[in-house]
Structure 1
């Protein structure tokens, strides 16, 4: 055969499989697919459904053309259909296969076969590598920034490359080619063009896995992350709880002198703030915690919606910049939150105090005036008595 030695290729199946770390059956199927493609180009028609079988012992190959059996006497397409009378006993609607031995290929057909083999081997090798990452979905891996395009960052993991789409990047983060970064293995996406490994740094699970690396108590079950709400590059809220009495979950996640939470922030950047709060089974209390640092007056819950009442000075704190605080709190609790103003308390007590003070002052003034009047009267009486005594002495 011109340019394509099938016997040699049948002998190379094992070698190729070992070199590419692929099953021999996969390599054999690729070669048979290439033979079918080459035969269709050389001897058949574009619409034909062709498969090939390679005999690894003899090096010979046979192609089979699948055709649908149709009723005799009808117009038909010879490439895909065959009359019932020629189908060797096959019933109408069944599939009949014509067999043809492969004798030779021309130069063009041989090139087609080689291209198909190379392409399919690359795809199979890539798929085999990606299958290794299926067990790593949801975990963090370290890779090197290989290429930065307008909306895509390619991360090199050695044997394969991960794709980080614009939506999976941290807003405002700069990626430098050659730098090493941590990413979350998000998923393996498969389509007609093949398979690709998708990674992320904007996912809430990325924050969760970073804390798993920094807080060993998570692995032992002492503390748990119950919910995460994140706007990557801006702010993250995490609700945590403890399964062991006496253990402070928030303090456990923050770490001594804040070293644990700081390690996470060093990875995602100081622009993104992290709020760690206590999770509570009491939904009202959980909502209060989720809206921190705002001080809540009261919470009224109806189904999947809640009215949260705050004082006027706490309204902007509860809502947050551009609604960020209440939006993240809603995501964290799973409840739609409406921030409303509570009625201002009446200042009765303060008025009573002022009145009491004024009354006391007035009473003091009255008492002072009374005492002064009494003292004046006593002085007058004393003077009168003195004058009387003097007059008596004179007589």
Structure 2
């Protein structure tokens, strides 16, 4: 524990970026525990590391008292004054108690402290590196899986892909290369933990940014995404340049751009629709490929509407198991009730009939009241 120790700390600082002062502070604290464990718990000791020579000294700290009750913690005023006449009651005196074989214990402790600090530093470096990728996509290799997770190797760390973050139409095999969305990065007691997803809607957003330069530079904006991962998605886009068609740009020549994403997501269908500031137009676009005749908003709830479609378009508008209507509702943020034109015609006929009956009833009541007034 001399120059070799100092050289090791200097190398650690240079290679790993771990401050020598931090390691020495941790080492001194660990050596106090080691001393108490081997030579007596009750002593109040301090450990001092000589930062020039690398030597270690252990001191027992005792308080000056009139009468000594505990010789390990106290020293009498009379004895203290033989050391230095200036000592007074309440002063602290340090007595060196470095054991002869303490070098061996110190070496073992130093090794443990340094290894621990190296692990902590490496964890910190990995956490900082991967937290920069949070909300972004990375390419990884499937390593293995258990009952809870699929483990994806991202290089310096193994990320976890939970069941809800997997796509229902995908089967993952070891050595498969997949693109994943880094949903969150946590710094746990066991080290950094990276959670990734294949089902997150923002995976689509990042894939479009990679595939479509206009989306990456912000000329075309993805306003909202509704996704049922592995099956179907709807993406609402708008252009900040009137000369650029946002839907055509995202689809690409002969559908090449969107097809690249469909291939990456193993055949997930995608509807790219144009966003509009008029909610009625936006809702009509969101129900693509169905044709919409009219959009009627609820006067009591502006986020609810009834969409009227031709009779032959009703099943297409609703979609298989209600999927088209469900995704359109997620995409637009509106509660959507879809009715056919014939259903709406019947509804209006019934409404007219009720109003006519109400008018007849009102006329009858007025006639009866007039007759009663005449008799009187």
Distance change >3 Å, CA 116–CA 285, structure 1 → 2: same
**Residue equivalent to 2:333:** 334
**Residue equivalent to 2:54:** 59
Q: Which moves more between the two structures, 231-240 or 303-312?
A: 303-312
Deviation by residue 1:241-287 (Cα, 9 ceiling, x = unmatched): 111123211111011111100111111111x1111001111111111
- Displacement of 1:292 after TM fit? 1.8
Distance change >3 Å, CA 129–CA 293, structure 1 → 2: same
- Displacement of 1:44 after TM fit? 6.8
CA distance in 2, matches of 1:288, 1:25: 66
Given the alignment of the two structures, is residue 300 of structure 1 paired with residue 296 of structure 2, yes or no? yes
Tell me, what secondary structure is at the counterpart of 2:250?
A: helix
Given the alignment of the two structures, is residue 282 of structure 1 paired with residue 278 of structure 2, yes or no? yes
- Displacement of 1:183 after TM fit? 1.6
- Displacement of 1:198 after TM fit? 2.0
- Displacement of 1:213 after TM fit? 0.9
Deviation by residue 1:72-98 (Cα, 9 ceiling, x = unmatched): xxxxxxxxxxxxxxx959xxxxxx9x9
Confirm or deny: 8 A CA contact 1:145 1:181 kept in the other structure.
yes
Tell me, what secondary structure is at the counterpart of 1:327?
A: helix
Q: Which of residues 9, 19, 30 is equivalent to 1:13?
A: 9
Find the structure with the greater CA-based Rg: 1
Given the alignment of the two structures, is residue 200 of structure 1 paired with residue 211 of structure 2, yes or no? no
Given the alignment of the two structures, is residue 219 of structure 1 paired with residue 228 of structure 2, yes or no? no
Deviation by residue 1:114-136 (Cα, 9 ceiling, x = unmatched): 44543442232022122122222
Given the alignment of the two structures, is residue 209 of structure 1 paired with residue 206 of structure 2, yes or no? yes
- Displacement of 1:203 after TM fit? 1.2
Confirm or deny: 8 A CA contact 2:166 2:197 kept in the other structure.
yes
Confirm or deny: 8 A CA contact 1:16 1:27 kept in the other structure.
no
**Residue equivalent to 1:80:** none
Distance change >3 Å, CA 27–CA 318, structure 1 → 2: farther
- Displacement of 1:237 after TM fit? 0.7
Tell me, what secondary structure is at the counterpart of 1:261?
A: helix
- Displacement of 1:30 after TM fit? 5.0
CA distance in 1, matches of 2:338, 2:33: 66
Q: Which of residues 252, 258, 262 is equivalent to 2:259?
A: 262
- Displacement of 1:38 after TM fit? 3.5
- Displacement of 1:231 after TM fit? 1.5
Confirm or deny: 8 A CA contact 1:37 1:112 kept in the other structure.
no
Superposition TM-score, scaled by structure 2 size: 0.70
Tell me, what secondary structure is at the counterpart of 1:136?
A: coil
**Residue equivalent to 1:247:** 244
- Displacement of 1:31 after TM fit? 3.8
Distance change >3 Å, CA 341–CA 120, structure 1 → 2: farther
Tell me, what secondary structure is at the counterpart of 1:173?
A: coil
**Residue equivalent to 1:177:** 174
Given the alignment of the two structures, is residue 35 of structure 1 paired with residue 35 of structure 2, yes or no? no
Deviation by residue 1:200-231 (Cα, 9 ceiling, x = unmatched): 22111111111111111123332111111112
CA distance in 1, matches of 2:27, 2:183: 33
Gaps of 5+ in 2: 61-88, 347-376
State how 1:306-345 maps to structure 2 within 5 Å.
306-344=305-343
Distance change >3 Å, CA 17–CA 298, structure 1 → 2: same
Confirm or deny: 8 A CA contact 1:38 1:112 kept in the other structure.
yes
CA distance in 1, matches of 2:96, 2:295: 79
Distance change >3 Å, CA 326–CA 346, structure 1 → 2: closer
Tell me, what secondary structure is at the counterpart of 1:307?
A: strand
- Displacement of 1:312 after TM fit? 4.6
CA distance in 2, matches of 1:185, 1:64: 51
CA distance in 1, matches of 2:294, 2:185: 46
The CA RMSD over aligned residues, in Å, is: 3.8
Distance change >3 Å, CA 174–CA 280, structure 1 → 2: same
Confirm or deny: 8 A CA contact 1:7 1:56 kept in the other structure.
no
Gaps of 5+ in 1: 66-86, 90-95, 348-395
Confirm or deny: 8 A CA contact 1:17 1:27 kept in the other structure.
no
CA distance in 2, matches of 1:50, 1:189: 38
CA distance in 1, matches of 2:26, 2:204: 42
Tell me, what secondary structure is at the counterpart of 1:226?
A: strand
**Residue equivalent to 1:141:** 138
